[in-house]
Structure 1
Amino acid sequence: MALQHATSSGSLWDEKALEASAYDSSQNLTQETHDRELGSQNKETEANVFPRGGREDEKALEASNYYSSQNLTQETLDLELGSQNKETEANIFPEGEAEAEADLERNGAAPNSTPVSGGIDPADFPDGGFEAWLVVLGGWLCLFCSFGWVNCIGVFQDYYQTQPLNQYSSSAVSWIPSMEVFVMFLGGPVFGKLFDNYGPRYLLLFGSILHVFGLMMTSLSTQYYQFFLAQGVVSALGASAIFYPAMSCVGQWFFKNRAAAFGIMASGSSLGGVIFPIMVTKLIPRIGFPWTMRAAAFMILGMMAVANFTVKARLAPKPKPLAMKEFVRPLREPAYALICAGAFMFFFGTFLPFNFVILQAQSNGMSTNLSNYLLAIQNGASVFGRILPGFIADRVGRFNVMIATSAFSAIIVLGLWLPSSSNAPIIVFCALYGFSSGAFVSLAPSLIAQISPIREIGVRTGTFFFCVALAGLTGSPIGGALLTQDNGNFLYLQIFCGVTMVAGTIFFVASRSVQCGFKLKVI
């Protein structure tokens, strides 16, 4: 009996010991599982505190420290980080007033491929490819037909002054080509805003029809007011509606190679400036002025038919109401305002060599046959001036190259054109000036795009060229008045041309200094 009791007591003790052992084992397993879960959470926390990326690394670290101090859960931290990521994505293409602030360091701020502070990532731009280069081709055709036509205005200055309008003074005749330049650039703010709202399609169609119609009406003109309205206003307005969509579209497709793309496109204006003067001077004696103008109009019609199908925007337009503050606001930015001031002063003199070099050469004894090729020489050299500085600018800085070419233009006007009185120096001047002044057309839009939000490129480019238009309107008449004041001598005109270019260069230097001082820097 005692033995049975002892055995029973031992069994009871063994069962209790076994239960205690099982309990301890389960506790150990629970602790190990708990430790593993804590370790996993710690690893996740470390991964979230130090994520990959640039600026978001710092944001995540600050968020992690903050929420850890507040003893909040990891889930809350993850939600906060996700919210920050969505905000970052939303800032890539901000809207309205916030867009200008968010893009303070703007699209194209430096010629490299690193993301730009403010949300614009250069990787978002195709920067090449069939579609992008097709837009450049269409833009080339647009500039051939618009700016290229305007580049041959010196031929009409000479023809009108010696043939149908010979009873008018040089200053009076010069208002026709000056009005053509003025109206083409004057449309900038309106056509730039229309491009931002609706894209290039309808603008190009409207411009193509109006440009051709104006030239057809010019072919029927015999009186001063008819030439003035048909060529100086109607045709120029059509050229303006062609010019701005092309300039604005290319900026949306390129970032790192933007100046080079603009240069290739702008070479169309140079080649147009070579072909149109030769075409006009050769055809007028053979088929007469009316059919010469019609031939040019048909040529432009065919080229614009191709351009209408190849020029297109990369970003879908977002219509917004027209507000004057959109045009005025950029002028409050020192860098932008100084660029506009520099272009205004530089453009006072830009077209004077194009308008008056033929008359100046003939007054110094150059034959009519040879002098008719001077514009072709200028525009032929500007083909290289449009392209080469653009490629260089993408590597050494667009502002740097703009300043160098502007200064060189002023130097050769004052140092070469002013003292020249024989054929050789005049021809050399035309070649050098064509190259240096050609860089202005290709580099100026890339400067504007470099310091502007991408969705405001159209309106800002338009405002810039509106400032240029004011100088283009008055530059040639002032030159004609100085020519009359100097009794037919070109000294006053040449000095005025050179001094305004020096002033323009100084403003470009000031715009650069606002951004980076006088440091040797790629900008």
Structure 2
Amino acid sequence: MTPTVPQARIFYGWFVVAAAFTVMFVGFGSAYTFSAFVDSLQQDFGASRGSVSLVFSLAGFLYFGLGVVSGPLADRWGSRRMAIAGMILVGLGLALASVARTITEVYAAYGLGVGLGVGFSYVPAVAAVQRWFVRRRGFASGLAVSGIGVGTLVLPALAVQLVEALGWREAYLVLGALAALLGAGMSLLFADDPRHRGLAPDGDPPKPDAHRERPLGMTLGEAMRTRQFVCLYAACLICSFGIFMPFVHLVPFALDHGVERSAAAFLLGIIGIGSTAGRFLLGGLADRLGRYSFLLALFVGMALALTIWAFATGFWSLALFSFVYGVLYGGWVAILPSVVMDCFGGRSISSIMGILFTSVAFGTLIGPSAAGFAFDLSHSYTLPILTGVAANLVAGFIAALARKNPSPAGEPAR
């Protein structure tokens, strides 16, 4: 028998949102500092831009691809354990990167440490939030993943200051300590199901015997056999070839066009500002206008934003691109988990999201590193950027093919 817990003045779901926000602030913020280290790694190890970019691609592949493991484990063991383990791994990976003697050791330390750490924590954290909300699911999800945007704003700027003041090795060490202490500490707030606390989603009064009800929605196998899942998987795979290029190549692109180093690094911060705004504002707007339709519009919007980058040559045009792209990218990250919950229900949400995000993993592995090698050959980013434009347009078309599929029984259609 589940004990009844008195209604808290503050709905506990918001504490889960705060934990997810912090995990993503620390994990993705640490990952997206990578652009601030590219020049230092190139100089110290005599590496090409393509080979250095591969470090980020490896980490990205792991932290999205590992959802296929961390999702089912979170359904079984709980989000709290997975997030704590992930944050400790992020801290350990950054600390080991600080003592690397070859670019291969950076691959192993940063790629495996940050990749495994974020991979173990990201899907469990996002999935936990979805179970605590229905009516405000888009807003809550947006608030949680805005940690990525705030992390992108704060930590790359911090990394630049640390590199200039202490050196790149000491900068990695400081970031590693921050990840382990702050990330793991806040992960203690995670709780997977409001029913376990005598609560209902959105802070509503619990139904009698709600703890005995089976979560609504599809199993992993049922979801994977739907046309909607196949189309979402293909759309996320294709758009991911270009969606993460700015996080690796925007600073080098700006430096190549004569932008000062501090101003170039600030462009990542502008993406963070836009991304934070997009996660806060677009998630709630999608709740009112329809989350699936909004997702389709974001694919088109990101394609148009990348077009701005293709023709930008100075700081202000790059700043415009950074903000617009940040808003749209932030909205995409915020809305996608809620769309998955709407489509397939909460029964196996962590497992379904884990499989879906392997599509993003493959795109992240190939896209940024391919852009780096393309630059090494042509000394231009034009072709990779335009490829990203086309990829987002194709992704939007594919996702639209499944637009009319019905929602699972018991779940609200959006």
Q: TM-score range by the shorter chain?
A: 0.7 to 0.9
Partner of 1:59: none
Paired residues of 1:158 and 1:358 also in contact (CA < 8 A) = no
Contact (CA 8 Å) 1:189, 1:327: kept in 2 or not? no
Contact 2:153 2:272 in 1 (8 A): yes
1:10-159 correspondence to structure 2 within 5 Å: 129-159=10-40
**Aligned 1:268-347 pairs, distance under 5 A:** 268-314=147-193, 329-347=222-240
Residue type at the aligned position of 2:358: F
1:37 is aligned to none
CA contact (8 A) 2:68 2:355 kept: yes
Deviations, residues 169-210 of structure 1 (Å, cap 9, x unaligned): 221111100001011011101110011112123212322222
The answer on whether the counterparts of 2:31 and 2:114 sit within 8 Å (CA) in structure 1 is no
Cα distance per residue 1:341-385 (max 9 Å; x no partner): 111111111111221111111211111121111111111110011
Q: Distance in 2 between matches of 1:489 and 1:350?
A: 18
2:376 to 484, 487, 491: 484
Q: CA deviation at 1:515?
A: 4.7
Conserved in 2, the CA contact under 8 Å of 1:219 and 1:290?
yes
Q: Deviations over 1:309-349 (max 9, x none)?
A: 21111156x9xxxxxx9755533210111111111111111
Q: Which amino acid in the other structure matches residue 227 of structure 2?
A: P
Q: 1:450 to 1:352 in 2, by over 3 A?
A: same
Structure 2 counterpart of 1:489, which letter? Answer: S
Report the TM-score when normalising by structure 1: 0.70
Q: CA deviation at 1:441?
A: 1.1
CA offset at residue 437 of structure 1?
1.0
Tell me the residue number matched to 2:261.
368
| Equivalent AA in structure 1 for residue 334 of structure 2 | S
- Quick one: distance in 1 between partners of 2:399 and 2:281? 20
- In 2, the alpha carbon distance for the partners of 1:481 and 1:209 equals 32
- Give the one of 400, 411, 414 matched to 1:509: 400
SS of the residue 2:188 aligns to: helix
The amino acid that maps onto 1:295 is V
Structure with larger Rg:
1
- Name 1:322's counterpart in structure 2: none
Match of 1:242 in 2: 121
Output the amino acid matched with 2:98.
S
Q: 304-313 or 345-354: which moved more?
A: 304-313
Deviations 1:56-101 (A, max 9, x none): xxxxxxxxxxxxxxxxxxxxxxxxxxxxxxxxxxxxxxxxxxxxxx
Asked if 1:191 is matched to 2:70, the reply is yes
**Secondary structure of the residue that 1:418 maps to in structure 2?**
helix
Q: For the residues of structure 1 that align with 2:54 and 2:221, how far apart are their CA atoms?
A: 28
User: Counterpart of 2:324?
Assistant: 432
State how far apart, in whole Å, the 1-side matches of 2:353 and 2:300 are: 23
Q: CA deviation at 1:301?
A: 2.2
Paired residues of 1:195 and 1:245 also in contact (CA < 8 A) = yes
Q: Deviations over 1:229-251 (max 9, x none)?
A: 00001222012112122111111
Q: 1:350 touches 1:497 (CA, 8 Å); kept in 2? A: yes
Name the CA distance, whole Å, in 1 between partners of 2:167 and 2:291. 44
Question: 1:436 deviation in Å?
Answer: 0.8
Residue in structure 1 matched with residue 310 of structure 2 by the alignment: 418
Pairwise mapping of residues 334-413 of structure 1 onto structure 2 (< 5 A)?
334-413=227-306
User: Structure 1 CA distance, aligned partners of 2:316 and 2:235?
Assistant: 31
Alignment of 1:164 onto 2:44: yes
SS at match of 2:127: helix
Range that drifts further, 387-396 or 298-307 = 298-307
**Distance across 2 between alignment mates of 1:435 and 1:159:** 29
Q: Is the 8 A contact 1:271 1:380 kept in 2?
A: yes
How much has 1:514 moved relative to structure 2? Answer: 4.1
Which structure 1 segments of 5+ residues have no match?
1-125, 319-324, 517-521
- Partners of 2:31 and 2:139 in 1: CA distance: 23
- Partners in 1 of 2:33 and 2:375 — Cα distance? 20
Provide the alpha-carbon RMSD of the alignment: 2.0
Where relative contact order (Cα < 8 A, 6+ residues apart) is larger, the structure is 2
> Contact 2:138–2:287 (CA<8 Å) still a contact in 1?
yes
Change (3 A) 1:243 1:485: same
Change (3 A) 1:300 1:452: same
Distance 1:347 1:248 in 2: 20
1:348 is aligned with what amino acid? Answer: F
The separation in 1 between residues aligned to 2:363 and 2:275, in whole angstroms, is 21
Counterparts of 1:391 and 1:410 in 2: how far apart (Å)?
22
- Measure, in 1, the Cα distance between the counterparts of 2:84 and 2:162: 28
Question: What letter corresponds to residue 394 of structure 1 in structure 2?
Answer: D
Q: Which residue does the alignment assign to 1:203?
A: 82
Q: TM-score, normalised by structure 2?
A: 0.87
Counterparts of 2:40 and 2:143, CA distance in 1: 31
Q: Structure 2 stretches of 5 or more lacking a match?
A: 1-6, 197-210, 212-217, 408-412
Query: Are 1:494 and 2:391 an aligned pair?
Result: no
Aligned partner of 1:229 in structure 2 is 108
Deviations 1:117-136 (A, max 9, x none): xxxxxxxxx9x942111111
**Is residue 348 of structure 2 the alignment partner of residue 470 of structure 1?**
no
Q: Aligned partners of 2:20 and 2:291: how far apart in 1?
A: 20
Q: Which amino acid aligns with 1:479?
A: A
